[in-house]
Amino acid sequence: MMNRATETLPAASKTADIARISEIMGRMRLMIGRRVISRTVIDDIAPSLEISHLDVLDAMRRIDGEVTVGAIADAMRLDPSRGSRLVTELVTQGILKRDASQMDGRRSILVRTEMGDRLLKEIHATKRRLLASMLDGWTEDELSAFAVLFDKFVSRFENTYSNDKGGPPLPTPFLAKTPS
């Protein structure tokens, strides 16, 4: 029985490249697991925050429509009670605030405060500076090709595995879709 990861086997000529990519992904997973960029951002900008707080801010950016605790929990693939605790911590710190929904006044939505907007702007600037330093020396063509190919790879990964918890495919906010 084949699963979606083995439905199409690569031609023999692709095997070495796929093995290399697999090894590189292992190295990248270790760096991502350590959350190197997020830890640097927190150390530099917001020492009172945890990495999961940055994840909430990022999830809010990706959610279409009104942002609720439930939408954040879904976007982050968290238990709703954990999502609620994270949101409450950010509200307590003045980074988020609760407002009434314009669609249903009984429902509470979340918005960033002015401080939250400034923090998010600083976080993104710091992340981009860190990435720029890692990509220093790349040609414009290399950078452009990498951005397109990396987006294509991550988008396919998201679309293949995003339904594992029953949710819709995750949005791809940064780059326009390119033909496959």
Encode the chain (180 residues) as per-residue pLDDT tens digits: 455 555 565 576 688 899 999 999 999 888 777 777 778 878 888 888 898 998 999 899 889 889 999 999 999 989 999 999 999 999 999 999 999 988 888 889 999 999 999 888 888 888 899 899 999 999 999 999 999 999 999 999 888 876 555 554 444 444 444 443
pLDDT value at position 114?
94
pLDDT value at position 110?
97
pLDDT value at position 134?
92
> Domain map of the chain by residue range?
52-114
- What class, spelled out in words, does domain 52-114 have in CATH? mainly alpha
> Distance between CA atoms of 171 and 150, rounded to whole angstroms?
15
> Distance between CA atoms of 91 and 75, rounded to whole angstroms?
19
Q: If you write DSSP's letter for every residue of 51-97 in order, what string do you get?
A: HHHHHHHHHHHH--S---HHHHHHHHT--HHHHHHHHHHHHHTTSEE
